Amino acid sequence: MTRNHIYYLVIVKIALVIWGILGFIEYFFPSTSFGLQNSNFPAGTQFLHWFLIVLTGSIFVFGFFRRWRHTPFATITMYATLATLCFIETVDFHAFGGGTKRFFIMSAEFALYLILSIYLLRSKRVNDHFGSG
């Protein structure tokens, strides 16, 4: 079971790219509504949000299929950028509905990035796949 985690991660990253593309479609064509935009975010923040989501997923998917040895580190770097943007969106623009619960959701997102980063650094399967071990 655990040896398949990397494939689950590929599926999640493909879904991330699709979600980001849908966000961009809605961003550039507001008459198309998927309900993905956050009206609290300024246009630049919203653009950066979707850009980082698409870039994070794309880097991992591209790196996975090309067996690019820097994929784990590039992905972890993208997690750091997403975490930074999440902090800004949560603190400055009241993402996740405002109130104190937004900080719990932000913390859960940070914990997910940390767990995924540890997996990318310590998994034998990941190291074998990318030749980074």
Q: What is the pLDDT of residue 4?
A: 83
- Structure token pair of residue 66: 């090309």
Spatial contact of 69 and 132, defined as CB atoms under 8 Å apart: yes
Give per-residue pLDDT as tens, 70-117.
999 999 999 999 999 999 999 999 999 878 999 999 999 999 999 999
Instruction: State the pLDDT at residue 99.
Output: 86
Query: Rounded to 10 degrees, what is the CA torsion of 92, 22, 16, 69?
Result: -100
Look at residue 1 and give its three-state secondary structure: coil
> What's residue 1's pLDDT?
44
Average pLDDT over residues 56-66: 98
The predicted pLDDT at position 2 comes to 59
Residue-level pLDDT at 6 = 95
DSSP-based three-state secondary structure for 37? coil
CA distances from 8 to 1, 5, 38, 103, 111 (A): 11, 5, 28, 27, 18
